[in-house]
Amino acid sequence: MRVLSAGALACVVSVMIALVPAQAQDLAPNGGVWRHGISVFGDLKYPSDFGHFDYANPHAPKGGDLILAPSEAYLNQGFTTYDTLNVFVLKGTGAHGMRLTFDSLMTRAWDEPDAMYGLAAEAAAIAPDRMSAVFRLREGVRFHDGTPVTADDVVFTFDLLKAYGHPHLTTALRDVKAADALDARTIRYSFTGPLVRDLPFTVAALPILSQAYYTQHDFSASTLDAPLGSGPYTVAQVNQGRSITLHLDPDYWGRDLPVNRGRFNFSVIRFEYFRERTAGFEAFKSGEYDFHEEFTSRFWATKYTFPAIEDGRVIKLTLPDNRPSGTQGWFINTRRAHLSDPRVREALIHAFDFEWTNRFHFHGLYKRTHSYFENSAMRADGAPSAAEVALLAPYRDQLPESVFAQAYVPPVSNGSGQDRRQLKIARDLLAQAGWQVRDGALKNAAGETLTIEFLTDAPTFERIIQPLIKNLSLLGIDASMRLVDPAQYQERMKEFDFDITTQRFSMRETPGVELRAYMGSAAAEEPGSRNLAGISSPVVDALIDAVISARSREELVTAARALDRVLRAQHYWIPQWYKGEHNLAVWNKFGRPDIKPRYHRGVLELWWVEPQKEAALTQ
């Protein structure tokens, strides 16, 4: 399962300024203290004079090519094709790599949960009341055409993205009231409302767009013309829907900054697109591209026996993934009347035999997903703590009593693929919801048959879906799978035109305003939002606010666990599986740092080509 990563959605994150003694000469126009970095709960690992991130090799050589297939997506990007280079709007399917052509005010440190350090901005200051943030641009920041990046460009970017940007961006910027240029290098963002903790980090991560360029070009349009950016890479070649090639800018203004030393080492990065995974894997085996992340456990266990593996030209790597594994599953569209009853949705969970699937299809390589914050301290387990109960108690009359008991976990089957006990439980739940078998079909009081369609654009998922469909059919449900092309799939997802679909959302280490896009009521009917299940609950909204407004990690974990309990009790999805590692196969020409960043895969930014290894591949 490829990931719609909130790590790739870096503009939707949380922040507070590190607390230090205020000195008069360090005060910003908003009364805050100028600092080189910001973080959610005040902790910064790196001092102002740090030389490079610990996980970056400042001596890494520049040069060589990295060719790969897309595996993580940002905003409107898909995985199998693209038709636009504009990745900041809802329209179209965006090309990969475009974020590498844009810089932002600050950039993440991937060995800290949520810290950011200066990129285009040399310093930031958060007001004492946290209702504004000020950023000071560095001298010498410039776009690829040589024109300077100014405060006016940053303000223009904010206005453009808030008005016309992708729904993820507009949601994240909802409580950013205004951006103002105080002078040519200083920008002030003003915030509104009680939930302002996230907002400095949110605006710090926005791409910086050129006012001059977008005054002449329609920002809302799909285009295959490369937009003007200021990042380390530029677009070199566009082969629509098949590949996109980026070149490292030799005159990149920020190449010597501490945050960039040892990063962006490849001269060329090219993304290759394939309509389905098997074709992509065959292309990798033949050397058409040289980096492959494997998401199909059956392939990982059985298919890596080709000659290049045996003679060492291709190597397998298993790297730890310490990020929250997030929410992978079949999301159930509660906007559909026949799927609006939680008992129906719980019945569907009982029909899925994970134990059989894991053994028969996945070679036992996966664990069952239980939580929306899987593989993290934010996962709810057992009975709620006193702090969780205190958060949940005001909404007791709006919640099922099960929320205050043990956190819901999916049932464990006997592994037969057709567990009669689980199917009986499912049948009883359906009956409680008013669905009875009549004339061989499951019908409601109005005589309507319970019909469910699984929507997918991945042929490889058919082997997983079909056994579930078989079990649903045994319950009398008219279940089917519809395989559509990627473009149609993207459009149907944007319009929520499905009963059930498969998706994975990777949660951040410090979740914040992006939760509104995943599960907030305002996003339930917003085209293109990540709220696939159509969750619309004032309780969920209130708990999201509690996560966003947490003033310590302890408060954040408590609020996230309470939110997790409520979501799981309502059965908005059929949980699937996860693994806390990256399974990678690479042609043996790369070097990589000794230290892997804890919260990032790090390949595009940190690896490099070793010429001797690359030469050996052709001997």
Supply the pLDDT for residue 43.
86
Q: How far is CA 248 from CA 138, 232, 252, 499, in A?
A: 21, 6, 8, 43
Tell me the β-bridge partners of 503: 329
In the prediction, which pLDDT does 19 show?
37
Q: Which of 69-78, 247-256, 471-480, 591-600 has the lowest mean pLDDT?
A: 69-78
Place 12 in a pLDDT band, splitting at 50, 70 and 90: very low
**pLDDT top residue among 298 and 259:** 259
Q: Which of 11-20, 344-353, 398-407, 420-429 has the lowest mean pLDDT?
A: 11-20
Predicted confidence (pLDDT) at residue 14 exceeds the cutoff of 50: no
**Residues of the chain above pLDDT 90, percent:** 84
Q: What is the three-state SS of 511-531?
A: CCCHHHHHHCHHHCCCCCCCC
What is the average pLDDT value for the chain, to the nearest integer? 93
For residue 18, count CB atoms less than 10 angstroms from its CB and return exposed for 0-12, middle for 13-18, buried for 19 or more. middle
442 phi, psi to nearest 5 deg: -85, 120
Confidence of residue 461 (pLDDT cuts 50, 70, 90): confident
pLDDT at 589: 98
Domain locations in the chain? 8-57+102-216, 327-578
Query: What integer is the mean pLDDT of 507-532?
Result: 91
Distance CA 21, CA 169 (A): 34
Tell me: pLDDT of 544 over 50.
Answer: yes
**CA angle (295 as vertex; 100, 54 as ends), nearest 5:** 45
CA distance 387 to 577: 29
Fill in the amino acid letter for 254: G
The residue-averaged pLDDT of 239-248 equals: 97
The sign of the dihedral angle between the CA atoms of 376, 379, 384, 386 is positive
Length reported for the chain: 619
Query: Where is average pLDDT lowest: 336-340, 382-386, 513-517?
Result: 513-517
Q: Kindly state the average pLDDT of the residues 559-568.
A: 98
Q: Does residue 22 register a pLDDT over 70?
A: no
Q: Is the pLDDT of residue 448 over 50?
A: yes
pLDDT, greater one: 8 or 456: 456
DSSP 209: P
HSE value, Cβ hemisphere, 13 Å, CA-based, for 357: 22
Overall average pLDDT of the 434-462 stretch: 93
Per the CB < 8 A criterion, the answer to whether 38 and 115 are in contact is: yes
Question: What is the residue-wise DSSP string for 437-473?
Answer: EETTEEE-TT--B-EEEEEES-GGGHHHHHHHHHHHH
Give the pLDDT mean for 182-196: 95
Scored b (16 or more CB within 10 A) or e, 264-294 reads: bbbbbbbbbbbeebeebbebbbeeebbbbbb
pTM of the full structure: 0.80
366, 358 Cβ separation under 8 angstroms? yes
Looking at residue 462, its pLDDT comes to: 92
With b for 16 or more beta-carbon neighbours within 10 A and e for fewer, the 355-379 pattern comes to: bbbbeebbeeebebbbbbbbbbebb
- Specify the CATH architecture of the domain 8-57+102-216: 3-Layer(aba) Sandwich (3.40)
Backbone angles phi, psi at 606, to 5 degrees: -120, -25
Q: Which residues contact 214 (CB under 8 A, 6 or more apart)?
A: 156, 160, 227
Closest CA relative to residue 229, chosen from 95, 122, 135, 99: 99
Residues 6+ apart with CB under 8 A from 571: 332, 342, 345, 346, 348, 349, 408
d(CA 189, CA 192): 10
Q: How far apart are CA 125 and CA 29, in angstroms?
A: 9
Structure tokens given for 49: 């004079």
Q: What is the DSSP string of 383-430?
A: SPPHHHHHHHGGGGGGS-GGGGSSPP-PPP--SSSS-HHHHHHHHHHH
Average pLDDT over residues 181-199: 94
- The end-to-end CA distance of the chain, in Å, is 35
Lowest mean pLDDT among 123-127, 323-327, 609-613: 323-327
Q: Which of 505, 501, 518 is nearest to 458 (CA)?
A: 501
Nearest to 142 by CA among 172, 106, 82, 102: 102
- Topology classification of domain 327-578: Dipeptide-binding Protein; domain 3 (3.10.105)
- CB atoms under 10 Å from CB of 475, counted, come to 21
Residue 312: left (phi > 0), alpha (psi -120 to 50), or beta? left
User: pLDDT (tens digit, 9 = 90+) per residue, 94-118?
Assistant: 999 999 999 999 999 999 999 999 9
For residues 522 and 544, give the distance between their C-alpha atoms in angstroms, rounded to a whole number.
12
pLDDT at 195: 86
Best CA proximity match to 314, nearest among 279, 286, 295: 286
pLDDT at 278: 87
Do the domains at 8-57+102-216 and 327-578 have one common CATH topology? no
Average pLDDT over residues 414-419: 96
How far from 316 is each of 68, 298, 361, 485, CA to CA, in Å? 15, 15, 20, 31
pLDDT, position 39: 92
Contact between 57 and 262 (Cβ < 8 Å) = yes
Q: Label residue 7 by pLDDT band (50, 70, 90).
A: very low
Q: Give yes or no for residue 194 having a pLDDT over 90.
A: no
Q: How crowded is the C-beta side of 262, counted as CA atoms within 13 Å?
A: 21
CA distance 524 to 340: 13
**What's the rounded Cα separation, in Å, for the pair 617 and 585?**
15
The pLDDT tens digits of the residues spanning 266-311 come to 999 999 999 888 899 999 999 999 999 998 888 898 999 999 999 9
Which residue's structure tokens are 């690359």?
Answer: 614
What is the CB neighbour count within 10 angstroms for residue 529? 24
Q: Are 493 and 501 contacting, i.e. CB atoms less than 8 angstroms apart?
A: yes
